[in-house]
Structure 1
């Protein structure tokens, strides 16, 4: 009641529908109403943390602080209190793409005005929930948000253009930095919490490791996908590869686009605006050069990058989002070591990692069990053998739900949801039982 429209409400109801099978997320797994049952499942699994998102549109229906929906604020208070009562640490995400439509009507993240509205939302959240929430994620996968929502237009809000994508990245970064400094200045002295960002990561492996051009291109790809957001937050500036990235993108359109610049004060505000390094990681691709004129619809095409996979890699089922999903656990280890080497071994929170499957695969999801077993094993290796400072791991996701442009045709959950049942019955899968044993032992049984 009282929720404002978000960009995803608008996006999924477009005609023609951009979502597989024309489905919407209007109800989805309905965790909003069934959170008590979901917390009970978390307790049964022995989960130590639970990351959830605050819906900006629920709390501030217009996106502004002109009206606060206190009934929805109470919902999050109840959830947080219930988690703590069950010895589960709450981790709150401020922005997981649930962006208020009224602010989209003035340009969304392309409009500098939105920065102050986000900081106001962050201030309200810190003030209201920060006495119990001590770990905060300002933005979830802002690189994916800006790439797919503003540059390519395949996800909400469905904008398409280099300048839109570029300005989205710039304003999201400034919003994060201002929110971080707000917490640092006003709330940290008595709340003693931590603030970071979760950045989407994907490992890019040179197809021919003996070919210098393949090696250079793979390194370039990681610097763009990861470093475009991480470099400003760590070092106060965009990576050197950013200018080349924009030049290659704009050449195809016959235009010229150069990086936006941070002022000295903005760079100072950004530099070091992290208490932990949050990552979301799923898969790996092989990289080799290709003709930039080739276009299969991905960002890599105009960059002269061809992505592929090894025929021996499991997985890889295509989805409507055109994301080939491959099970490559050693790529996870390489990605974590890459961050250690180039970013000074920061404390890493792995806050998304999971396996893409289909509802018809049923409850005996052996492939998902093997995915989590192999990826967690590689993560333990980087901690115990490589000395990487990984401090937290969270599996994505607890429940089957609405996934991007794929709707309900794919799932990541370790708990099945019956979407044909109005009550959205939950049933733990084999993978849930596996993770329960991992959580009980804080790793694999000895």
Structure 2
């Protein structure tokens, strides 16, 4: 059975129940003056120009070219939003919105087309240097992601994120980017959503590179991506941070999890669910080692499967020390919430991450508009997750680097306005009432774009892109107009109390 991402399920609910849902009570206080507002995109999803100016083939280029049916509409990112050529127009859109931050990703294959140093491409470096300078000239702070899912195909053919050497290649690439963009970029993300990369690309095979090893490869993928993150972190701090004075961290995606009932079993299951999702990547970086429940459950099930060692790779003492503490802030992507239930221990059979975690998740008892409302603006969803991160990982500073929803609405996207307003209201509660230091927010996404296996069938942008027009016309949606007012007033409603 094909596993749908949580974002996909969210979109199915939106499509089923229309574009208007009951609103939660919205906070009418102002965000702190220091709060940074922004928007986010990723290279493969918007740039196009897939083989121009020396760019190499990424695994997503290869994945979509060799089998077009891997995307819902059989389309790819060859052109996407054509931002490789229209980036000046996009910067003006950001300026019009009034945001102070733009989160984008660097395409590894524009810098090192094969992933190796001997393929260095000056044209790719020059493109991004020119781009970030222009952002700054327009009063917009660039924040750069080093890896947003577009691995060089040459490295993919050598094992990709299952090969330890990929972490070394990532460090070499990161060093070049730090050297050239570091004078202008002061906030860095190493790897974006490693959980999604591993689960969708190496688990259920829906995303590139299309590997289906849900009980084994996903754990090795996690290990290598964490090593890659730590490698880039140490390079930055050992060689660049003193002079460039920037910050760098991993970006982790997670749901907010609530027990389906107040039973002790469901409460425990909710902790397991959180550890197998958020903790899987946060614990090695912020605490050290995998979460203990992962070590215990995967180890026990591996033994019962007759395996000589756990399917969860063990860290060496040196690796534990190398990964632990590699953070300057917490990068959090958050889209939705889940209810979690305890289940009977799954039978021993084919290895599976889902059997390993031993929980069941849902959006509620049935598919009704009220449940859709719970999903979108459930009280304390964003607040609950922010508090969990703040209290359990002590990161010092949190950036919400992605948050948004897809709708089919072209311009009149009131559903998205309700969604953003609800989640930002929860965020403001966490900031003002709970003392959580959320430094900034970059909504996903600036533009409608290529949404991976969904192709162009899901539209996350606050700005519409007409993919049928020759000029790929960009138009502000209602959500963009609402966001524009919000970032200018620091207020989620028409009038805030002082």
Residues 248 and 302 of structure 1 are in contact (CA less than 8 Å); yes or no, is this contact kept in structure 2?
no
Deviations 1:74-133 (A, max 9, x none): 111111011000111000000000100000111001111111110000000000110011
Q: How does 1:61-100 map to 2 (within 5 A)?
A: 61-100=113-152
Q: Does 1:278 align with 2:331?
A: yes
Deviations 1:160-218 (A, max 9, x none): 2233221111111111112111111110111010001110011121111x211111111
Note the C-alpha offset of 1:340: 1.5
Residue number among 309, 313, 327 corresponding to 2:363 in the alignment: 309
Residues 304 and 348 of structure 2 are in contact (CA less than 8 Å); yes or no, is this contact kept in structure 1?
no
Q: Does 1:218 align with 2:270?
A: yes
Q: Does 1:28 align with 2:80?
A: yes
Residue number among 314, 328, 331 corresponding to 2:378 in the alignment: 328
Q: How does 1:36-435 map to 2 (within 5 A)?
A: 36-161=88-213, 162-208=215-261, 210-247=262-299, 257-290=310-343, 292=346, 300=354, 303-310=357-364, 311=368, 312-314=370-372, 326-328=376-378, 330-344=380-394, 346-358=396-408, 361-435=409-483
> Taking structure 1 as reference, are residues 137 and 71 closer, same or farther at Cα in structure 2, changes over 3 Å only?
same
Note the C-alpha offset of 1:245: 4.8
**What is the RMSD computed on CA atoms of the aligned residues?**
2.2
Residues 243 and 258 of structure 1 are in contact (CA less than 8 Å); yes or no, is this contact kept in structure 2?
no
Deviations 1:330-373 (A, max 9, x none): 21111111112211253100010001212xx2201000001111
User: Partner of 1:321 in structure 2?
Assistant: none
TM-score normalised by L of structure 2: 0.83
> Taking structure 1 as reference, are residues 92 and 234 closer, same or farther at Cα in structure 2, changes over 3 Å only?
same
User: For 1:302 and 1:120, how far apart are their aligned partners in 2?
Assistant: 35
> Taking structure 1 as reference, are residues 123 and 371 closer, same or farther at Cα in structure 2, changes over 3 Å only?
same
User: For 1:269 and 1:182, how far apart are their aligned partners in 2?
Assistant: 12
Note the C-alpha offset of 1:314: 2.5
User: For 1:372 and 1:306, how far apart are their aligned partners in 2?
Assistant: 27
Residues 4 and 62 of structure 1 are in contact (CA less than 8 Å); yes or no, is this contact kept in structure 2?
yes
Residues 252 and 302 of structure 1 are in contact (CA less than 8 Å); yes or no, is this contact kept in structure 2?
no
User: Partner of 1:319 in structure 2?
Assistant: none
Residues 216 and 312 of structure 2 are in contact (CA less than 8 Å); yes or no, is this contact kept in structure 1?
no
Residues 235 and 270 of structure 1 are in contact (CA less than 8 Å); yes or no, is this contact kept in structure 2?
no
Greater shift, 244-253 or 55-64, is seen at 244-253
User: For 2:208 and 2:315, how far apart are their aligned partners in 1?
Assistant: 27
> Taking structure 1 as reference, are residues 50 and 346 closer, same or farther at Cα in structure 2, changes over 3 Å only?
same
Note the C-alpha offset of 1:315: 6.5
Gapped regions of structure 2 (runs ≥ 5)? 1-51
Residues 198 and 218 of structure 2 are in contact (CA less than 8 Å); yes or no, is this contact kept in structure 1?
yes
> Taking structure 1 as reference, are residues 392 and 382 closer, same or farther at Cα in structure 2, changes over 3 Å only?
same
Greater shift, 70-79 or 137-146, is seen at 70-79
Note the C-alpha offset of 1:72: 1.7
Greater shift, 304-313 or 157-166, is seen at 304-313
Greater shift, 238-247 or 271-280, is seen at 238-247
Note the C-alpha offset of 1:243: 2.0
> Would you identify which runs of 4 or more consecutive aligned residues in structure 1 move more than 6 Å?
251-254
Residue number among 55, 61, 71 corresponding to 1:3 in the alignment: 55
Gapped regions of structure 1 (runs ≥ 5)? 317-324
SS in 2 for 1:81: helix
> Taking structure 1 as reference, are residues 13 and 248 closer, same or farther at Cα in structure 2, changes over 3 Å only?
farther
User: For 1:245 and 1:42, how far apart are their aligned partners in 2?
Assistant: 46
Residues 313 and 327 of structure 1 are in contact (CA less than 8 Å); yes or no, is this contact kept in structure 2?
no
> Taking structure 1 as reference, are residues 299 and 365 closer, same or farther at Cα in structure 2, changes over 3 Å only?
farther
> Taking structure 1 as reference, are residues 236 and 395 closer, same or farther at Cα in structure 2, changes over 3 Å only?
same
Deviations 1:267-317 (A, max 9, x none): 22212110010000000111113453699xx9546643222113413269x
Residue number among 424, 436, 443 corresponding to 2:484 in the alignment: 436
SS in 1 for 2:254: strand
Structure with the bigger RCO (C-alpha within 8 Å, sep 6+) is 2
Residues 216 and 311 of structure 2 are in contact (CA less than 8 Å); yes or no, is this contact kept in structure 1?
no
Aligned length: 434
Residues 201 and 225 of structure 1 are in contact (CA less than 8 Å); yes or no, is this contact kept in structure 2?
yes
